[in-house]
A and B are shown apart, each in its own frame.
Chain A
Amino acid sequence: AQKVTQAQTEISVVEKEDVTLDCVYETRDTTYYLFWYKQPPSGELVFLIRRNSFDEQNEISGRYSWNFQKSTSSFNFTITASQVVDSAVYFCALRGSGGSNYKLTFGKGTLLTVNP
């Protein structure tokens, strides 16, 4: 069975602070994919990043960076110099490689509020 845990339910920061969102996952698959999505108040899920289990390189995209560590089954997401527009719910998700079922298993999400 697959499981994604986002222990932080809500985080509140002041603009320009750095913030890290934690994600811990469980899977028996040796090949799997990890995702982060952003969900603004309007409701749509915005894709941020996909990482496969063979690639443990950290990735940086502008103010966003991701730290993937297989040893601790974690895929954490850091926003540097946060902005009010970053306020949203962020979901970590996992897709395994079992059979033909490529469903995403989501965590419960972390609500990030960036205050001016």
Chain B
Amino acid sequence: EAEVAQSPRYKITEKSQAVAFWCDPISGHATLYWYRQILGQGPELLVQFQDESVVDDSQLPKDRFSAERLKGVDSTLKIQPAELGDSAMYLCASSPVGRTYGYTFGSGTRLTVV
């Protein structure tokens, strides 16, 4: 069964440092999503890509977060500088084009900022 690959699985970083997460969606999935899940909460969308274009980044803290999907395949989410409040699970998901299809989520990157 095809999977969404994410790395690293766990990341511990000091505040004010830079950190990056990588996501490789299922082959052929044009839509890619980054979600952030704070402990005890449901996931919230940070950014959505359609191919290499950003469709929605309204909830992305753009002063410190950036995301790119240069060739419309894999994607990188970066935080610089990291803050204590960024500690969370970062989930990547992908889906084919079209609203009738479901998502496939990756296993996530659990970030701890110390």
Q: A and B: partners?
A: yes
A→B interface (CB under 8 Å): 4, 33, 35, 37, 42-45, 47, 50, 52, 91, 93, 95, 97, 100-104, 106-109
B 28-47 to A, binary, CB cutoff 8 A, 1 in contact else 0: 00010101000011111100
Is B114 in contact with chain A by the CB < 8 A criterion? no
- Flag if B42 contacts A106 (CB, 8 Å): yes
B56 at the A interface (CB under 8 A): yes
Q: Are A104 and B45 in contact, CB atoms less than 8 angstroms apart?
A: yes
Measured CB to CB, the nearest residue on chain A to B107 is A44
With A33-B99, A43-B89, A108-B41 as contacts: A100 and B105 at CB distance below 8 Å: no
Contact A102 B31 (CB under 8 A): yes
Q: Which residue of B lies closest to A4 (CB)?
A: B42
A103 to B103, CA, bound (A): 10
Q: A47 vs B102: C-alpha distance in the bound complex, in angstroms? A: 9
A103 partner residues in chain B, CB cutoff 8 A: 33, 45, 48, 56
Complex Cα distance, B101 from A52, in Å, reads 11
Please name all residues of chain B whose beta carbon is closer than 8 Å to the beta carbon of A106 when the two chains form the complex: 42-44
Q: Closest CB of chain A to B90's CB: distance in Å? A: 10
B20 interface residue per 8 A CB criterion: no
Q: Other than the known A44-B108, A104-B33, what 5 A-B pairs have Cβ atoms closer than 8 Å?
A: A4-B42, A91-B43, A103-B33, A108-B40, A109-B41
* Contact A100:B42 (CB < 8 A) given known A35-B102, A44-B105, A50-B102: no
CA distance A102 to B96 in the complex (A): 11
Q: Which of B80-114 contact A (CB under 8 A)?
A: 89, 91, 93, 95, 99-100, 102-108, 110
